[in-house]
Structure 1
Amino acid sequence: MRTVCLGDSFTQGFGVARDENWVYLLNTPCSTFINKGVNGDTTGGMLARFCSDAVNEKPNYLFITGGFNDLFAGVSETVVQANYFAMVHQAFHNNMIPVVCTSPPFDPAAARAGWPELTSFDLVKMRYETLREWLLSLCRGFDLLHVDFYGEFQKVLSRNPGKNFYLDGIHLTAEGHEIIADIVLEALRGF
């Protein structure tokens, strides 16, 4: 099985070593996971590099995770929705099975110094929760494979109160990436 993971800093693994990233952790002799995450990328950027980063890799599956940076930059949710919609259809057109993914939750109170001056993280969180609901509706409506990192990681957080899985309220620690890899493995059993 060959899988491309297309996304932003969550996929790229900002702040952790390459071998601590969730995409890297999923590689086995029987399955190859290719990391096509770019720090700071938007869904528009992901769509722009879709051919080079997804189609040219000829994967069986395409994990698509993004949207936070769009909302952080003030982009409308409808633009993010249109970009996801286009990537899903481009995946099918190019004989890939798309897997729509939500981003893990983030903690506005723990955001890196300087970031809250650029935008309201509480507003971004609220807008992302709306986007997440739309993505899950898209998956139900089109019977798409999906991984709800937001919901599954939220369960981990509720079982571990006081434990910090974040480097800066947004990006995950190495332990957080291990949890994400476990979430993917569990999801793959259901595919």
Structure 2
Amino acid sequence: MDRKSLAILILTIILSLFIVTVVVLLSVFIPIFEEETEDKIKYYSDLSEHATKGQVVFLGDSITEFYRTSEFFHEYSPYNRGIAGDTTDGVLARLQDNVIVLEPKKVFLCIGTNDLARVKKDKVNYIVNNIIEIVTTIENSLPDTKVYVVSILPVNRSLNIYSRYVLKSRNNEDIDSINERLKEYCEENDVTFIDINTHLKDEKGNLKKEYTLEGLHISFKGYQVITELLKPYLEE
């Protein structure tokens, strides 16, 4: 066997082992992850029983859950209701027990990136319609609550092979389409749309390397930028 054939064989074996490892890990961790999500929903519901009404709520997925809102916005004593892996369907399902019961004065909603990796067909319309339903449900239940729709953040598929695996089918073209649709809806319905997306992009339209951990999740520096962009809306 020549050197080239040997190299191809070794690479094939390594890739096969990687795929097997990923499949095994997913089979182990997905049930655990789903159980943790249910536990988190219940945890938030239990907290709501003793929470102060009329506060600020941050609602979303891991981008929100990992956001140290209590540190960045400590003077507002916000409630963080982010759950890693959550989708627009998930938010709709827990909206009453995790958010509406709090009767917040402001809700900052940032959700949809996980839907991009899971919804198979017509994902842009699906996500936009669900986010609109979240907004209208809050407004109908709490007419005095101000809802802020935060743009879905950009991603970066070019960092490394791991980034492409984490991002799955997420891409900036779909994200931009969703954000544009949401912006139009907000302008037509007197809802505040907050464009964080464009402030985090590099010259190629990707999430800047210094603002991300692996192309999807946000670094501390990224959260600092987001905080400065959100501050005026908390102060108003």
- TM category (shorter chain) comes to 0.7 to 0.9
The one-letter code matched in structure 1 to 2:108 is F
How much has 1:118 moved relative to structure 2? 7.7
- Do residues 35 (structure 1) and 43 (structure 2) align? no
Q: Distance in 2 between matches of 1:89 and 1:144?
A: 10
1:25–1:181 CA contact under 8 A, matched in 2? no
The one-letter code matched in structure 1 to 2:55 is R
**Structure 2 unaligned regions, length at least 5:** 1-53
The one-letter code matched in structure 2 to 1:152 is H
Q: Distance in 1 between matches of 2:175 and 2:141?
A: 28
The residue that corresponds to 2:38 in the other structure is none
- Do residues 102 (structure 1) and 151 (structure 2) align? yes
* TM norm structure 1: 0.81
Question: How large is the RMSD of aligned CA atoms in angstroms?
Answer: 2.4
Higher helix share: 2
* TM norm structure 2: 0.67
The one-letter code matched in structure 2 to 1:145 is T
Percent identity, aligned pairs only? 23
The residue that corresponds to 2:102 in the other structure is 57
Cα distance, 1:110–1:163 mapped onto 2, change above 3 Å = closer
The alignment of Structure 1 onto Structure 2 pairs a total of residues equal to: 176
How much has 1:24 moved relative to structure 2? 2.3
1:6–1:37 CA contact under 8 A, matched in 2? yes
Q: Distance in 1 between matches of 2:174 and 2:72?
A: 30
Residues 95-124 of structure 1 show CA distances to partners (whole Å, capped at 9, x for unaligned) of 221111112211111266275388344xx3
- Do residues 176 (structure 1) and 176 (structure 2) align? no
Largest Rg, 1 or 2: 2
Secondary structure of 1:146 counterpart: strand
- Do residues 136 (structure 1) and 180 (structure 2) align? no
Matched ranges for 1:147-158 at <5 A: 147-154=194-201, 157=202
Higher strand share: 1
Q: Distance in 1 between matches of 2:233 and 2:200?
A: 13
1:22–1:181 CA contact under 8 A, matched in 2? no
Structure with larger RCO (C-alpha < 8 A, sep 6+): 1
The residue that corresponds to 1:18 in the other structure is none
The residue that corresponds to 1:17 in the other structure is none
The one-letter code matched in structure 2 to 1:83 is N
